[in-house]
Amino acid sequence: MAGTQNRIRAQGPGTARKLTIKPLKSKPKLPEDFETTTWKKLQHAVHAVHGKQPVTVSLEELYRAVEDMCLHKMADRLYANLQQECNTHISAELEKLASSQTIDPVLFLQHMGNCWHDHTSQMLTIRSIFLYLDRTYVISTTGVRSLFEMGLQLFRTHLASHPQVERKTVQGLLQLIKAERQGETVDRTLLKHLLRMFTSLNIYADGFEQPFLEQTAQFYAAEGIQYMQETDVADYLLHSEKRLGEEYERCQQYLDSSTRKALVHAVERQLLEKHMPTILEKGYDALMAEKRVPDLGRLYSLCARIHALEALKQSFREYIKKTGITMIMDEEKDKDMVNLLLEMKANLDTVLHQAFQHNEQFANAMKDAFEHFINQRQNKPAELIAKFIDAELKAGNKGQTDDELEVRLDKALILFRYISGKDVFEAFYKKDLAKRLLLGKSASTDSEKNMITKLKTECGSQFTNKLEGMFKDIDLSKDIMTSFRQAKAVQAKLTDGLDMNVNILTSGYWPTYPTVDAKLPLELNHYQEVFKAFYLSKHSGRRLVWHNSLGTCIVTAHFPKGKKELSVSLFQTVVLTLFNDADSLTFAEIQEASGIEEKELKRTLQSLACGKVRVLLKEPKGREVDSGDTFLFNEAFVASLYRIKINSIQLKETVEENKKTNDQVIQDRQYQIDAAIVRIMKTRKTLSHKLLVSELLVMLKFPIKASDLKKRIESLIDREYLERDEANQNVYNYLA
Q: Are 628 and 621 in contact (CB under 8 A)?
A: no
The reply on whether position 631 binds other proteins by CB under 8 A is no
**Of 73 and 563, which has the nearer Cβ to other proteins?**
563
* DSSP H or E run through 644: strand 643-645
Which range of residues in 112-120, 332-340, 413-421, 535-543 is near other proteins by CB under 8 A? 535-543
CB-facing half-sphere around the CA of 152: CA atoms within 13 A: 14
Distances (CA, A) of 732 to 205, 676, 706: 75, 14, 16
| Residue 5 engages other proteins in binding (rule: CB under 8 A) | no
Q: Is 541 in the site for other proteins (CB under 8 A)?
A: yes
For helices 402-418 and 337-350, the axis angle rounded to 10 degrees is: 90
Tell me whether residue 130 or residue 527 sits nearer to other proteins (CB atom): 527
Kindly indicate which of the ranges 60-68, 184-192, 209-217, 546-554 contains the residues binding other proteins, using the contact rule CB under 8 A.
546-554
Q: What is the CA radius of gyration of the chain?
A: 51
Q: Rank residues 8 and 489 by Cβ distance to other proteins and give the closer one.
A: 489
| Smallest separation (angstroms) from other proteins to the CB of 503 | 5
Q: Per-residue contact track with other proteins, 438 to 457, x per CB under 8 A?
A: xxx-----------------
529 near other proteins (CB under 8 A)? yes
- What is the per-residue binding string for other proteins in 297-326, x denoting contact by CB under 8 A? ------------------------------
Asked if 139 touches other proteins (CB under 8 A), the answer is no
Q: Using the rule CB under 8 A, is 570 a contact of other proteins?
A: yes
- 332 C-beta neighbours (distance < 10 Å), count: 6
- Which CB atom, from 49 or from 530, has the smaller least distance to other proteins? 530
**Per rule CB under 8 A, is residue 551 in the interface with other proteins?**
yes
Answer left, alpha or beta for residue 374, where phi above 0 means left and psi between -120 and 50 means alpha. alpha
Minimum CB distance to other proteins smaller for 81 or for 528 = 528
Which residues does 34 contact at the CB level (< 8 Å), separation at least 6?
A: 68, 72
Distance, CA of 632 to CA of 646 (rounded, Å)? 17
Question: Pick from 182, 495, 540, 729: which binds other proteins (CB under 8 A)?
Answer: 540
Q: Is 543 one of the binding residues for other proteins (CB under 8 A)? A: yes
Q: How far is CA 437 from CA 279, 444, 503, 629, 658, in A?
A: 54, 10, 9, 35, 19
Check if the beta carbon of residue 169 is closer than 8 Å to that of residue 194: yes
Is 679 near other proteins (CB under 8 A)?
A: no
Q: For residue 178, what are the contacts with CB-CB under 8 A and spacing of at least 6?
A: 215, 219
- Is 582 a binding residue for other proteins by CB under 8 A? The answer is yes
Q: Give dist(CA 173, CA 195) in Å, integer.
A: 9
Site string (472-511) toward other proteins, x via CB under 8 A:
-x-------------x-xx--x----xxxxxxxxxxxxx-
Q: Does 581 bind other proteins (CB under 8 A)?
A: yes
Closest distance between other proteins and the C-beta of residue 541, in Å?
A: 4
Q: Are 504 and 526 in contact (CB under 8 A)?
A: no
The residue count for binding other proteins (CB under 8 A) is 70
For other proteins, the closer CB: 88 or 457: 457
Of the candidate spans 112-120, 126-134, 393-401, 553-561, the one that interacts with other proteins by CB under 8 A turns out to be 553-561
Q: Is the distance from CB of 350 to CB of 293 less than 8 angstroms?
A: yes
Q: Establish if 31 lies at the interface with other proteins (CB under 8 A).
A: no
Count of CB atoms within 10 A of residue 680's CB?
18
Bond from prior residue into 620 cis (ω within 30 degrees of 0): yes
Q: Provide the CA 118 distance to its chain's centre, in angstroms.
A: 59
Applying CB under 8 A, which residues contact other proteins? 438-440, 465-466, 469, 473, 487, 489-490, 493, 498-510, 513, 521, 523-524, 527-529, 531-547, 550-559, 565, 570, 573, 576-577, 579-583, 615, 633
